[in-house]
Amino acid sequence: MKILIVNGPNINMLGIREKNIYGTETYEDLLKFCEDAAEELGVEVSFFQSNHEGAIVDAIQAAYGKADGIVINPAAYTHTSVAILDALKAVSIPTVEVHISDVSKRDDFRRISYVREYCVKTVMGKGFGGYKEAMEFLTENYGTR
């Protein structure tokens, strides 16, 4: 199974500020964590991170016919982007939404998620572990692809 992990704006800045919310580990640490999880689960993993909405749409479109599952943390675009929702619908690849923090317990605007309408599951508030849980879910439910 091939899983694409997509991270949105400022995820590349993890570990630098707001450590009380997002922890002390960096984006590089996240990649290593996901690579280890992928090896354990026996899946192929690739990564994409961008601070630009259109670039994320392009990456989702490029996954068409290539990835069997997507794990996405759209970061701030979670709460604003119809374009990312539409791209996910267009490629029709099973997708799990992940948030490092528990967005249901923060600012009101973070409770809104446009991508959730399409996603088969949402994991929030579990730190990097949420990405592993998302990969496990895709493997268990869509792993024969």
Sheet holding 69-73, edge to edge: 44-49, 2-7, 69-73, 95-99, 121-124
- Minimum separation from the CB atom of position 42 to ligand CA2 (A): 26
Q: Is 112 in the site for ligand CA2 (CB under 6 A)?
A: no
Contact 4/67 with Cβ under 8 angstroms? yes
Q: Single out the segment in contact with ligand CA2 by CB under 6 A; choices: 15-23, 38-46, 52-60, 64-72.
A: 15-23
Classified as helix, coil or strand, 128 is: coil
The Cα 67–Cα 56 span in angstroms is 15
Among 1, 3, 4, 11, indicate the residue that binds ligand CA2 (CB under 6 A).
Answer: 11
Instruction: Identify the helix (H) or strand (E) that includes residue 137.
Output: helix 129-142
Q: Which of the following is catalytic: 22, 114, 118, 131?
A: 22
Q: Is 79 marked active-site?
A: no
Q: Who's near 84: CB < 8 A, 6+ residues apart?
A: 53, 56, 57, 60, 72, 74, 77, 114, 115
- Minimum separation from the CB atom of position 98 to ligand CA2 (A): 7
**Which among 53, 39, 10 has a CA at the least distance from the CA of 139?**
39
Stretch 44-73: interaction string toward ligand CA2, x if CB under 6 A: -----------------------------x
Q: Which of residues 92-111 bind ligand CA2 (CB under 6 A)?
A: 99-101, 103, 110
- Minimum separation from the CB atom of position 125 to ligand CA2 (A): 8
Q: Which residues bind ligand CA2 (CB under 6 A)?
A: 10-11, 13-14, 16-18, 22, 73, 75-76, 78, 99-101, 103, 110
